[in-house]
């Protein structure tokens, strides 16, 4: 049940169309739905403001399509599916037209490995989210963060390949980062980009270590430890390669009223 349906129920109580007891029953009904292979949380949006998002890795195309169908049935207008392969995305799109209430195919963002069912919303966040990467190799994680943030209603600016090996590339975009409401700094190797940006701006900075790098980077552990040990204030860090988590958190910050 989404916020709009809940508001409609409450309006019906106010107008006398239904009793408070009936309204309580409607709101309490089906907080989750057991599909056998998944328990779909219909009250996620009521609690957190954002509906449940499907993590695609490890799920079959049939399972994802089944979950998406139930989301559509419950009134969800936008569905985000993360960590999808092209093969699974193609199978989902072949299945979706056969399911009556799904009115559109999924749009697959290959670099981000994200599928979107429904129309992307217009930005309604307070400001702009800036996403910066140390290198081009960090783009898959960055695009996961960017598409997530855009799907959650944010205006996103991308600054790719502005790492510390050529610091002038970042400094030439000071106007962009200074105007940001929140910045997502994504880097592998030693992960120094997050600390550098954190020392330049007055907004929250979310560090995302990536598994990009040679042997002693330990698949992102070196970058993670660098970001966790940042001496710049206002820096937080999500897990290695977790572009989705960074985009989600940045959206929460960008929608937080002061």
Could you tell me the residue ranges of all domains in the chain? 31-117, 128-254
pLDDT-above-90 percentage for the chain = 64
Query: Length of the chain in residues, anyone?
Result: 258
Element (H, E) at 39: strand 39-41
The closest of 126, 236, 133 to 181, measured between CA atoms, is 126
Judge whether residue 65 has pLDDT over 80: yes
Tens-digit pLDDT profile for residues 135-189: 999 999 999 999 999 999 999 999 999 999 999 999 999 999 999 999 999 999 9
- The confidence score (pLDDT) of residue 98 equals 45
Judge whether residue 43 has pLDDT over 50: yes
The answer to whether 151 and 106 have CB atoms below 8 angstroms apart is no
d(CA 201, CA 187): 18
Question: What's the mean pLDDT when you consider all of the chain?
Answer: 87
Per CATH, which fold does 128-254 belong to? Rossmann fold (3.40.50)
d(CA 250, CA 255): 9
| H-state helical runs in the chain | 3-15, 20-28, 44-48, 61-73, 86-95, 139-151, 167-171, 174-178, 193-198, 221-228, 243-254
How far is the CA of 112 from the CAs of 65, 80, 131, 137, 159, in angstroms?
19, 12, 13, 12, 16
The answer to whether 228 and 222 have CB atoms below 8 angstroms apart is no
User: By mean pLDDT, which of 18-22, 45-49, 178-182 is the weakest?
Assistant: 45-49
Tens-digit pLDDT profile for residues 75-119: 788 999 999 999 999 988 887 654 544 456 789 999 999 999 988
CA neighbours closer than 13 Å in the CB half-sphere of residue 65: 20
Q: For residues 187 and 65, which has the higher predicted lDDT (pLDDT)?
A: 187
Region 21-35 average pLDDT: 65
Longest CA span, the chain: 68
The answer to whether 204 and 175 have CB atoms below 8 angstroms apart is no
DSSP designation for 113: T
Query: Which residues lie across from 81 on neighbouring strands?
Result: 54, 115
- The confidence score (pLDDT) of residue 199 equals 94
- The confidence score (pLDDT) of residue 4 equals 65
- The confidence score (pLDDT) of residue 230 equals 92
- The confidence score (pLDDT) of residue 73 equals 78
């Amino acid at each position: 049940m989404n916020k709009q349906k809940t508001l409609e129920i409450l309006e019906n109580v106010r107008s006398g169309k239904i009793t408070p007891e009936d309204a309580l029953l409607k709101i309490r009904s089906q907080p989750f739905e057991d599909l056998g292979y998944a328990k779909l949380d219909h009250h996620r949006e009521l609690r957190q403001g954002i509906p449940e998002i499907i993590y695609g890795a490890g799920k079959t195309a049939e399972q994802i399509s089944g979950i998406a169908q139930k989301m559509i049935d419950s009134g969800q207008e936008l569905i985000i599916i993360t960590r999808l392969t092209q093969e699974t995305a193609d199978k989902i799109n072949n299945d979706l037209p056969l399911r009556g209430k799904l009115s559109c195919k999924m749009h697959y963002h290959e670099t981000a490995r994200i599928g979107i069912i429904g129309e992307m919303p217009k930005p309604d966040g307070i400001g702009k989210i800036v996403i910066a990467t140390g290198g081009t190799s960090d783009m898959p994680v960055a695009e996961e963060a960017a598409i997530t943030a855009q799907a959650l209603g944010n205006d996103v600016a991308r600054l790719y390949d502005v790492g510390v090996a050529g610091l002038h590339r970042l400094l030439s975009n000071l106007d962009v980062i200074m105007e940001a409401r929140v910045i997502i700094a994504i880097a592998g190797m030693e992960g120094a980009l997050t600390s550098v940006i954190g020392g330049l701006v007055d907004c929250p900075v979310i560090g995302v270590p990536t598994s990009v790098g040679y042997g002693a980077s330990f698949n992102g552990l070196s970058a993670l430890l660098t970001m966790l040990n940042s001496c710049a204030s206002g820096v937080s860090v999500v897990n290695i390669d977790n572009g989705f988590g960074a985009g989600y958190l940045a959206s929460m910050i960008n929608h937080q009223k002061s």
